[in-house]
Structure 1
Amino acid sequence: MDLTELQARARAVRARYADVERAAYGRSWTTEELMLGFLGDVGDLAKLVQGKAGVRPRADLDEALAHELADCLWSVLSLADAYGVDLEAAFTSTMDGLDAHLAARQAEGS
């Protein structure tokens, strides 16, 4: 699946969540609530990373880590969609900037 397909899948799942939220709460989550959910997922991911370091072991660690990384990616895709961010263009631009910065740092050290 490429990024466009991932974005479409994330959008479809977000729309289904919005339907469930409207039925349960009378409205769908705001972008702020999506962000808070993402923060919770990042906290869960941090615990799993500790598990990989031997601090918080659990039997299903690899499966849980993969799931939480996917949850975090879904949140990023959903937030980008909510704010109209072209994530592919933003990622490419950011990586280009980081590459240029690192090349300059390496040139300084030579």
Structure 2
Amino acid sequence: MVKRIYDERNRLVGREWTREEFMLGFVGDVGDLAKLAAAAEGARRIPGWRPALEYELSDCLWSVLVLAHLHDVDLAAAFFRTMSELEEHVAVSIERARSAEGTA
């Protein structure tokens, strides 16, 4: 796993990253991702944005997986539970909007 390699490297240079440091690294990666997403939409000029976008998406996903592991979160279970809740919430919102259209 890539995290183990980072941990080993960090031990050699002094210490492993804390959960907070992983989170701060993730926030920085999300900022980079936002710039690349803007480039994909033509709002920024970044040469070679496509491979960089793929890299940052993968890097962000890795960070989320590491953070879930560090916080003992069953990410697969949480994901499916959250998607189910969101689906139900959106379905209710659609029904309310349709009902409001019918009364207007």
TM (normalized to structure 2)?
Answer: 0.90
Which residue of structure 2 lines up, in the alignment, with residue 103 of structure 1?
Answer: 91
SS state at 1:28 partner: coil
The structure number with the bigger radius of gyration is: 2
Deviation at residue 109 of structure 1 after TM alignment: 1.6
Higher relative contact order (CA closer than 8 Å, sequence separation 6+): 1
What count of residue pairs does the alignment treat as equivalent?
98
1:64 partner letter? A
Q: Does 1:27 align with 2:15?
A: yes
TM (normalized to structure 1)?
Answer: 0.85
1:39 partner letter? V
Structure 1: unaligned runs, 5 residues or longer: 1-11
Q: Percent of aligned positions with the same letter in both sequences?
A: 49
Structure 2: unaligned runs, 5 residues or longer: 99-104
User: RMSD of aligned C-alpha atoms?
Assistant: 0.8
1:108 partner letter? R
